[in-house]
Amino acid sequence: MNENTQNRPDPSSATPQSTSSVSASALPDSPLSVDRPLGTPLGPQPTRVLLLGSGELGKEVTIELMRLGAWVCAADSYAGAPAAQVAHEAQVLDMADAQKLNALIAQVKPDIIIPEVEAIATSELAEAAHRGIQVVPSSGIAAICMDRERLRTLAHDELGLPTTPYRFAGSFEELGSGAEAVGYPCVVKPIMSSSGHGQSVVERSEQLEQAWREAQTGRRAANDGTVSRVIVEALVPLAYELTVLTVSSRAGVVTCAPIGQRQDHGDYRESWQPANVDDMTLATAQRIACTAVLGMVDQAQREGERGWGVFGVELFVLDNGTVLFNEVSPRPHDTGMVTMLSQRLSEFALHARAVLGLPVTQEHLNLTLRQGSVAASHAIVVEGEGEAVFSNLPEALSGPDADLRIFAKPAVHGHRRMAVSLAIGRDVDEARARAANVADTLHVVVA
């Protein structure tokens, strides 16, 4: 168990840089560079992409890859997933089953594998990379980011990024010791999960048993027959959270304008771009994001992989202005859906370009908003059992700066994110209100 919970000096305390871009170690004439054949997805030698995870984010990535002429197979654990509805081919399997995943890779023969979910047999990704298949961003990065313990150790111990005080625990007894060390209140999370699954806020020791149980039963892949290790973190005086979308491509590492967000029990509900932050917070956030991504990309390239793609770097901003590293997703981020309205190239278009070996520079990340305007997204979560049918779209989308993405997931069981509304306003409050109004005006029936 890692006993080091003292934050190292904040690397952001150095003199601010004048740019949020960093040169890559893989320049256009590097052996890591590629110029893939595109435009003949149904021809004899297309660039073949295997997407592992076919939800709403994967659907947008699929569309962008197909726009650039790639062939895409979308795989997920259930039939009719959003990306599967638009891809050239769809497959259904348990992607955490190494034997089944290996068989799929052998069948599809992809040039590129893009993991879009956490529950994947990462050993097979490493084997695929060893055989020369490009894994996005790399097989090593995918494995690290799916494991909070490995990610926190890399970020805090190796890269020196500031984080919350934390401990890891492999048993209920270790959890109790860890909670005492970081103090109450604290947050308990399984080391492999996302979107708040299995997460609990613990106010006092009597709640630890329930938190341990929730981490085991509420996490993703809860039925894998194993006991999950957990991370217990101090509950810091949080002012707000930021996402800094960071893009690694053959041209280097660059960052998008920061995205503000609101979560509910660890799951995204609203986001807006640009976030209203001061210049010092902006510079610190961009520097931490670049440091985290460059650290992983450098490691990937030392191992002969590319490390290209979009990373969603999640940051905490405390009441006193301190910026802390929280987590990073090695793929487009759900809060980044706002970029479908705010940027010239959405996070999905940027991901497709980077993955296919196209350069992404700071100029590619420009906002397309009117001066002083803000874009917002609002997750539409539906409850019930059955198919979700949307109506009243003419009224909901009557505003000139309103938009909507219906994910077309086949069914709702309990509650599920089924769409996202988008809007532009003169400031953050107006943009959020307009996006919420689109969602509220829709009629959704589950039957």
- For 404, the token pair is 């909507």
* 113 bridge partner residues: 50, 135
Q: Which residues contact 346 (CB under 8 A, 6 or more apart)?
A: 60, 64, 336, 339, 340
**Of 248, 335, 377, 421, which is the active-site residue?**
335
Is 174 a catalytic site residue? no
Which one from 69, 196, 218, 399 is the annotated catalytic residue? 196
Clarify whether 196 is annotated catalytic.
Answer: yes
Q: What span, in angstroms and rounded, lies between the C-alpha atoms of 70 and 68?
A: 6
* Given the residues 60, 214, 327, 347, the one annotated as active site: 327
Of 152, 417, 432, 434, the active-site residue reads 417
CA distances from residue 304 to 108, 128, 299, 308, 371 in whole angstroms, order as listed: 23, 13, 9, 12, 43
- The one catalytic residue in 76, 111, 334, 347 is 334
Q: Report the C-alpha gap between 152 and 318 in whole angstroms.
A: 19
Structural tokens at position 271: 């986001």
Measure the CA–CA gap between 408 and 20, rounded to whole angstroms.
Answer: 36
Give the span between the Cα atoms of 243 and 339, in whole angstroms.
12
Check if 203 is active-site.
no
Let me know if 140 is a catalytic residue: no
Which residue out of 214, 233, 314, 347 is catalytically annotated? 314
The single residue listed with the structure tokens 């001066």 is: 371
Task: Tell me whether residue 327 is one of the annotated catalytic residues.
Answer: yes
DSSP labels, 59-99: HHHHHHHHHTT-EEEEEESSTT-TGGGTSSEEEE--TT-HH
268 Cβ contact partners less than 8 Å away, ≥ 6 residues apart: 195, 261, 262, 334, 335, 379
**Residue 18 catalytic?**
no
The residue annotated as part of the active site, out of 122, 164, 194, 291, is: 194
Question: Residue 334 catalytic?
Answer: yes
Q: Residue 269 in contact with residue 262, Cβ under 8 Å? A: yes
Q: How far, in Å, CA of 124 to CA of 101, rounded?
A: 7
Helices 122-130 and 98-108: crossing angle, nearest 10°? 40
List active site positions. 194, 196, 314, 327, 334-335, 417
